[in-house]
Amino acid sequence: MNTTSCEVKPSATERCGCYTISDLAKEFEVTPRALRLYEESGLLEPQRDGQKRIYSERDRVRLRLIIRGKRIGCSLAEVKELFDMYDSSPGESGQIKRLLEKLDERRQALELQRSELALSLADIEQIEQRALETLRELENKGH
Amino acid sequence: MNTTSCEVKPSATERCGCYTISDLAKEFEVTPRALRLYEESGLLEPQRDGQKRIYSERDRVRLRLIIRGKRIGCSLAEVKELFDMYDSSPGESGQIKRLLEKLDERRQALELQRSELALSLADIEQIEQRALETLRELENKGH
DNA sequence: CGCTTTCTTGACGTTAACGTAAGCGTAAGT
DNA sequence: ACTTACGCTTACGTTAACGTCAAGAAAGCG
């Protein structure tokens, strides 16, 4: 039985809010390599126990943000940009406005993507229609 | 005045349906390098006048298809697959069915993309809302 | 003829986000 | 003590779709 219910697995050495690299990797379905890359890219700064990385709750939150960032199509560099913005002045209206601008950029990019995607689907429909037509002709002839 | 109105520019040596590499590059807004790559990838097979590439009307049509393919998110390899399918048996129902399958794959991929994109936009909205809230709080405090 | 442009073929460089492996240390379990 | 399991760093490999030279050929022009 777990006396120290840290997360799912008790690291036994430490208490709550502490994750090993593979803890987080499993939870977010990424590889340890990815986490190290994020660190190298300046997106995470886990503490160390000797050589071993120890991720805090804050790191975990950041990781979640990284993944969300990626999902909305940000590169790691862009995510870092957002982090830096937020870090430099967590409560300064100028920075928040910059953040809003960035978000707007992203949204525009996504909406462009969306419209192109719609075009693509239309393209596919069209090609499909032609193919179906050809197919019908063939089956009429064969019949 | 142009006696041989081939395209926009008369190559003077040849008649209609003949384009140099930069003719097509300009028309479709791609670089010559890209056209050579498409050739190397087996997507185009322009004739030669000595060393120089001469693109026919058919090549031009293909290029248009390549670009459409890329727009719907196909890799060059996938475009080639489609071309090969079509070429090998332009009127065989089996091949056309394969084509339809491929198109369906593409459509599913695109629809997945679309739903993820919707999620992303939702994400952005949410982040934006929070930022706006923070901003309001700040301005209240400052006021 | 010399100059300029447009073409050619290599062939290496680029970017992003990791993958993969080597070689080694450490820690836990049996 | 031995064996796994996990972690570390370093560093090269991968993929796609080109970009970017370099070096040279052919062709039109004055």
Distance CA A26, CA A5 (A): 18
Residue pair A84/B116 in contact by the 8 Å Cβ criterion = no
What mean pLDDT, rounded, does chain A reach? 84
Mutate to test the interface with B, among A105, A117, A134 (most CBs of B within 10 A): A117
Indicate yes or no: CB of A124 within 8 angstroms of CB of B138. Answer: no
Percent share of chain A, pLDDT over 70: 87
pLDDT of residue B71: 84
β-partners of residue A53 are A48
A118 located within any domain: no
Indicate yes or no: CB of B93 within 8 angstroms of CB of A128. Answer: no
pLDDT of residue B7: 46
Residue A33 pLDDT > 50? yes
Distance CA A73, CA A69 (A): 6
User: Of the given ranges (A71-85, A87-101, B43-57), which has the lowest mean pLDDT?
Assistant: A87-101
Indicate yes or no: CB of B123 within 8 angstroms of CB of A68. Answer: yes
Number of residues in chain B: 143
Chain B residues with CB-CB distance to A120 below 8 A: 71-73, 110
Give the domain range for residue A20.
8-75
Residue A47's H or E segment, with its range, is: strand A47-49
Residue A89 pLDDT > 80? no
pLDDT of residue B141: 80
Residue A139 pLDDT > 90? no
Chain B residues with CB-CB distance to A135 below 8 A: 93, 96-97, 100
Number of domains in chain B: 1
pLDDT of residue B16: 65
A18 located within any domain: yes
Q: Would you place residue A14 in the very low, low, confident or very high pLDDT band (cuts 50, 70, 90)?
A: very low
How many Cβ contacts (< 8 angstroms) between chains A and B? 86
B131 located within any domain: no
Residue pair B83/B43 in contact by the 8 Å Cβ criterion = yes
Chain B residues with CB-CB distance to A100 below 8 A: 128, 131-132, 135
- The residue among B77, B36, B81, B83 whose CA lies nearest residue B55 is B36
A135 to A142, B19, B80: CA distances (angstroms) = 10, 33, 21
A65 located within any domain: yes
B59 located within any domain: yes
- Of all nucleotides, the one whose C1′ comes closest to residue B52's CA is C7
pLDDT of residue B14: 43
A47 located within any domain: yes
Residue A73's CB: how many other CB atoms inside 10 A?
Answer: 15
Residue A17 pLDDT > 60? yes
pLDDT of residue A16: 66
Sort residue A12 into left (φ over 0), alpha (ψ -120 to 50) or beta: left
- Of all nucleotides, the one whose C1′ comes closest to residue A66's CA is C17
Residue pair A93/B138 in contact by the 8 Å Cβ criterion = yes
Indicate yes or no: CB of B135 within 8 angstroms of CB of A107. Answer: no
B1 located within any domain: yes
pLDDT by residue for chain B (143 residues), tens digit each? 333 334 444 444 445 689 999 999 999 999 999 999 999 999 999 999 999 999 999 999 999 999 988 988 889 999 999 898 888 777 788 888 888 888 888 888 888 888 888 888 888 898 899 889 988 998 888 76
User: Of the given ranges (A66-70, A119-123, B6-10), which has the lowest mean pLDDT?
Assistant: B6-10
Indicate yes or no: CB of B96 within 8 angstroms of CB of A138. Answer: yes
pLDDT of residue B56: 96
Question: Residue A79: what are its φ and ψ, rounded to 5°?
Answer: -60, -40
Residue B94's CB: how many other CB atoms inside 10 A?
Answer: 9
Residue pair A96/B135 in contact by the 8 Å Cβ criterion = yes
The ipTM is 0.74
B98 located within any domain: no
Distance CA A71, CA A84 (A): 19
Q: What is the mean pLDDT of residues A89-96?
A: 80
> Is the CB of A50 less than 7 A from some atom of nucleic acid strand C?
yes
Question: How far does chain B reach from its first CA to its final CA, in angstroms?
Answer: 72
CATH at residue B48? 1.10.1660.10
Nearest CA in chain A to B133: A96
